[in-house]
Structure 1
């Protein structure tokens, strides 16, 4: 999926059994939270180079390598994004400290939009990691302000607690992934119907 400005969302996740699968949270900010802060056993930003790789996969205009300071900042923002998403999914208030962190990052310069095809360059040709973090924070401001709880929700599966933003027009997304929890729910429902329809043993 893509954001309104054409940036891709979603990323590979690893299941408890070690298998990889694709999870699209529907939001860059929530995707970023799932690089480690949303799950205690899934840290993917071990070094500044990991942050650079994640950001450039969403923001091709970011080629300046992230610094160790950027990594510290990114983890701070990521933690606040995670707590905000969890709060919204459970219909509770976002902690005020996390609101302050998100607002602080959103107030810094972001990546300026540009139209392709001109002959002159206006400003920097490449964005910094800090500017990409600002874009994530600004998306979060819009996301959490406009969606108190109705579109930010937890997967409907009893054994899954992944949080996503339902960007569907009908607002009826139930699963973190149809390939994962949706299919498992369908299989369980089918087995239940089959066992109900089966004749009693003689």
Structure 2
């Protein structure tokens, strides 16, 4: 799995956001309750298939259907609520836990070593298998939420949720190119104002 995707806010340029977990990136295929319709990526089964192919598996995938899209939106809604609760230090809702566990119980994509002469099992990946991979990753992340790595961006005007995967456990911003740079500019201006200089 590879993490990160471009975000397209309604009021500014696109920027790259790495949520630190593929299941959390998947939650951000919607607006995570932020009221940003431009962030919606899953308008059709084809959109779902394209996102899963780019982010979850490089194996050939069956084209998802309407039922797969409906299932994906159910999983995404549960992931959204679970990750927000974890970031805010709130209890996880039992109904959302049940939803996540049901998706995680579906058989996922089996590992395979390249270079053999035979294809073991099905040659194409179903959307349900890819969604199961996302759910299983989320189970691991949310089970370990007490480590404090599921956080919100420090910027008061942002507060996006991410999983800190840094070695030093010191990530503070959704993105250094976005909120991190804004904070640096504000700090520089404040220092300049105290020193009587101009920015």
| TM-score, structure 1 normalization | 0.92
Give 1:170 deviation, angstroms. Answer: 1.1
Give 1:149 deviation, angstroms. Answer: 5.9
Give 1:51 deviation, angstroms. Answer: 0.3
- What do residues 7-57 of structure 1 show as CA deviations (whole Å, max 9, x unaligned)? 211001012324111000011000000011513323211110110110000
- What do you get for the CA RMSD once the two structures are aligned? 1.2
Map 1:170-189 to 2 at 5 A. 170-189=168-187
Map 1:127-142 to 2 at 5 A. 127-142=125-140
Of 106-115 and 42-51, deviating more is 42-51
Q: Structure 1: where are the runs of 5+ without partners?
A: 1-6
* Structure 1 match to 2:161: 163
- What do residues 57-103 of structure 1 show as CA deviations (whole Å, max 9, x unaligned)? 02111421011000000000000000000000000111110000000
Contact 1:89–1:149 (Cα < 8 Å) also in 2 = no
Map 1:6-45 to 2 at 5 A. 7-38=1-32, 39-40=34-35, 41=37, 42-45=39-42
Instruction: Provide the aligned length of Structure 1 versus Structure 2.
Output: 193
* Structure 2 match to 1:54: 51
Give the distance between the partners of 1:188 and 1:63, measured in 2 at CA.
47
Is 1:144 the counterpart of 2:142? The answer is: yes
Decide which of 72, 75, 78 is 2:73's aligned counterpart: 75
| TM-score, structure 2 normalization | 0.94
Give the distance between the partners of 1:69 and 1:27, measured in 2 at CA.
25
Contact 1:89–1:152 (Cα < 8 Å) also in 2 = yes
